[in-house]
Structure 1
Amino acid sequence: MSYQFRKANLSEIPSIWDILQKAIQRRKEDGSNQWQDGYPNPEVIQKDIEKETGFVLTIENQIIGYTAVLINDEPEYAKIIGKWLTNEDFVVFHRVAIAEEHLGKGLSKVILNYIEDFALSKQIYSIKADTNFDNFAMLSIFEKLGYQHCGEVYFRGGERLAFEKVLNK
């Protein structure tokens, strides 16, 4: 498969929001409280894109995945209950979502591999992320890709598990 991972455009918000809405519904059906509080929403996506941090995964120009990728931009990570592996520059990603008709193909891992490439292209060797304690799919991906649990962080009043992966220089 020939995937592309690129910055999202404002005109793509409806397609991205459709993917995220279905992911929000899946989290609800899984019994999770993640993404059940009005976040994420179209305004969040718009801000991601305006800040040039919104990225899409495409195949044949069809959007099949979305994430936000930022550099050194997660204030809550400074308040970790635990300890990060590194204190260097880092890439952080949020809001990974795959289109419903493309689930089960390992595309979240594809996105995370592209994020590693992005980090290395910026000479950054740390990737930090967080997820809900009941997001078993993402927890499994973190384990398979070598992320290490570092502690907990808090967002919108909820505890999240914090992970870091140190990349080889």
Structure 2
Amino acid sequence: MNSYFVQATVADIPHIWSILQGAIARRKADGSQQWQDGYPNPEVLQRDIKSGVGYILKIGDEIAGYTAILINDEPAYAGIEGAWLTNDDFVVFHRVAVAQEFLGQGIAKKLLTYIEAYARSKGIRSLKADTNFDNAAMLATFEKMGYQYCGEVWFRGNPRRAYEKVLATIP
């Protein structure tokens, strides 16, 4: 099946919200504290889409995953307890979520691969992200995809593990 990585539209919101609700429930079932405080929520999702930072991964006609991608836009990253690998422009991504029916098919890895292509298309070599200490699935994905642990950042009063991947020279 063909996959496509495209900007999300307002029409996609109900399906994306369903995917996020499933991810929130899975985090809870896994015993994770991540996403158990009312975030993300429909307002965050609507803001992503209206700001043009929400992206979906489609497999055929189905939405398989969602993420928000921003450039140089994460104020919490300035206060890292540790050190980033680079101090240049960076792409940051948040709210990575995979639809229930696509679990176990490498969709998170595919999303991160598309995010790398997005960064390259903008001439940016640095990808930065964070996740909760107890989000085993995302921690494993970062490791598999070559991200390096850089330290801790704080969101809504909680520490998060911060990662960076520096891409090879952009052609």
Shift of 1:60: 1.8
How far apart in 1 are the matches of 2:71 and 2:35?
23
How far apart in 2 are the matches of 1:41 and 1:50?
14
| 5+ residue gaps, structure 1 | none
How far apart in 1 are the matches of 2:142 and 2:51?
26
- Does residue 161 (structure 1) correspond to residue 161 (structure 2)? The answer is yes
Identity of aligned residues (%): 64
The corresponding residue for 2:74 is: 74
The corresponding residue for 1:92 is: 92
TM-score normalised to the size of structure 1? 0.99
Cα RMSD (Å): 0.5
Shift of 1:59: 1.5
Matched letter for residue 2 of structure 2: S
| 5+ residue gaps, structure 2 | none
The corresponding residue for 2:144 is: 144
Deviations 1:117-139 (A, max 9, x none): 00000000000000000101111
- After TM superposition, the runs of 4+ consecutive aligned structure 1 residues lying more than 4 A away are none
Deviations 1:17-67 (A, max 9, x none): 000001000000000110000000111010001110000000222111100
How far apart in 2 are the matches of 1:105 and 1:2?
14
SS at match of 1:28: helix
Kindly report which structure 2 residues correspond to 1:1-169, keeping only aligned pairs within 5 A, or say none: 1-169=1-169
How far apart in 2 are the matches of 1:90 and 1:111?
17
SS at match of 1:162: strand
TM-score normalised to the size of structure 2? 0.98
Deviations 1:111-164 (A, max 9, x none): 000000000000000000000001011111111111000000000111000000
Matched letter for residue 145 of structure 1: M
How far apart in 2 are the matches of 1:137 and 1:105?
13
SS at match of 1:124: coil
How far apart in 1 are the matches of 2:23 and 2:155?
19
